[in-house]
């Protein structure tokens, strides 16, 4: 049984679509179907079935789902052991949007330039989505906001950066006290469904301020552009990225403001430890 058949099966089930699996894996839809068919031939039972426009696993497919993930993890471990003097293999990495535009571009460039044996599959998502991906073994590691609840002992958290919340305002309002801006200016809220947005909301309630809220967005980049255009003010973490640095904004310090902690989360017993350490070294460079 070829591991690429198992990998293709898992991608199809995860995305519920042969076409999406084709796009994610960089192979034709016909090749996806052929690999799934080959796996079904070996098992002797159908493992996926169409349900409307989607596909889902059959009972036989569900029965082999978790074991398939474990087999692929063991294969990655074996590849790593064979190259014990260097980082080698594939890392399934999740990342929040601000890591994609801030931390990762230069870090990935360093990894690709110095470690030709490393391949990285990158999946964007919210912190909550990526956390779930770690628990379900769909990801080896994820760069995300620290969970607002105790992290299980089976997981390991490495802090990469701590970003204080600041009040972002148009440059012409830089000399106005932050609390006055929060009370009087239109307020663009950092989406409370995000863990970072919850920190901002908790802090705002601690100030007992009722802002003139008119937008709630889940993209810090979009919020920053809105503020630069003079459409309001916002409570945001002071994240670093080449995009952010070129915006003309006033970043006003807040008293007793919380920090958004960005770090790398993964299973403690994951087989790609050497790859993760290489990534941590690159983002901390």
| Bridge partner list, 118 | 89
Q: Domain-by-domain residue ranges, the chain?
A: 1-71, 161-261
Q: Which two tokens stand for residue 41?
A: 């031939």
Q: Which pLDDT belongs to residue 1? A: 64
Q: Which pLDDT belongs to residue 147? A: 95
Which CATH architecture group holds 161-261? 3-Layer(aba) Sandwich (3.40)
How far apart, in whole angstroms, are the C-alpha atoms of residue 251 and residue 236? 9
End-to-end CA distance of the chain: 41
Angle of the 29-43 helix axis to the 3-15 helix axis, nearest 10: 110
Q: What is the pLDDT along the chain (285 residues), one digit of tens a residue?
A: 677 888 888 889 888 888 888 888 888 889 999 999 998 998 888 988 888 778 888 999 888 888 887 777 666 655 554 444 455 567 889 999 989 888 888 888 888 888 777 778 888 999 999 999 999 888 889 999 999 999 999 999 999 999 999 999 999 999 999 999 999 999 999 999 999 999 999 999 999 888 999 999 988 989 999 999 999 999 999 887 777 777 889 999 999 999 999 999 998 876 666 778 888 888 876
Q: Which of 275, 216, 219 is nearest to 244 (CA)?
A: 219
Indicate the fold that domain 1-71 takes in CATH: Arc Repressor Mutant, subunit A (1.10.10)
Whether residue 269 contacts residue 156, with contact meaning beta carbons closer than 8 Å, is answered with no
Give the other-Cβ count within 10 Å of 116's Cβ. 10
């Amino acid at each position: 049984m070829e591991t690429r058949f198992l990998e293709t099966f898992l991608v199809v089930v995860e995305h519920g679509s042969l076409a999406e699996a084709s796009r994610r894996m960089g192979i034709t839809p016909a090749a996806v179907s052929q690999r799934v068919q080959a796996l079904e031939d070996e098992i002797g039972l159908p493992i996926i079935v169409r349900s409307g426009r989607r596909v889902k696993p059959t009972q036989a497919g569900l029965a082999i789902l978790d074991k398939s993930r474990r087999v692929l993890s063991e294969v990655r471990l074996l590849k790593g052991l064979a190259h014990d003097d260097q980082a080698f293999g594939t890392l399934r990495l999740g990342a929040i949007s601000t890591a994609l535009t801030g931390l990762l571009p230069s870090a990935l460039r360093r990894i690709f330039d110095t470690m030709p044996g490393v391949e990285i599959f990158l999946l964007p998502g919210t912190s909550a989505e990526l956390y779930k991906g770690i628990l379900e073994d769909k990801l080896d590691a994820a760069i995300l906001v620290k969970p607002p609840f105790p992290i299980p002992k089976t997981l390991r958290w490495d802090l990469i950066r701590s970003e204080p919340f600041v009040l972002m305002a148009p440059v012409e309002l830089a000399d106005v006290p932050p609390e006055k801006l929060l009370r009087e200016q239109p307020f663009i809220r950092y989406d409370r469904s995000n863990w970072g947005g919850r920190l901002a909301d908790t802090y705002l309630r601690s100030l007992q301020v009722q802002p003139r809220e008119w937008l709630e967005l889940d993209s810090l980049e979009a919020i920053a552009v809105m503020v630069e255009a003079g459409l309001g003010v916002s409570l945001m973490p002071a994240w670093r990225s080449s995009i952010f640095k070129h915006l003309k904004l006033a970043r006003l310090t807040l008293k007793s403001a919380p920090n958004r902690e960005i770090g790398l989360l993964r299973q403690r017993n994951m087989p790609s430890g050497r790859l993760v350490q290489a990534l941590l070294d690159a983002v901390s460079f």
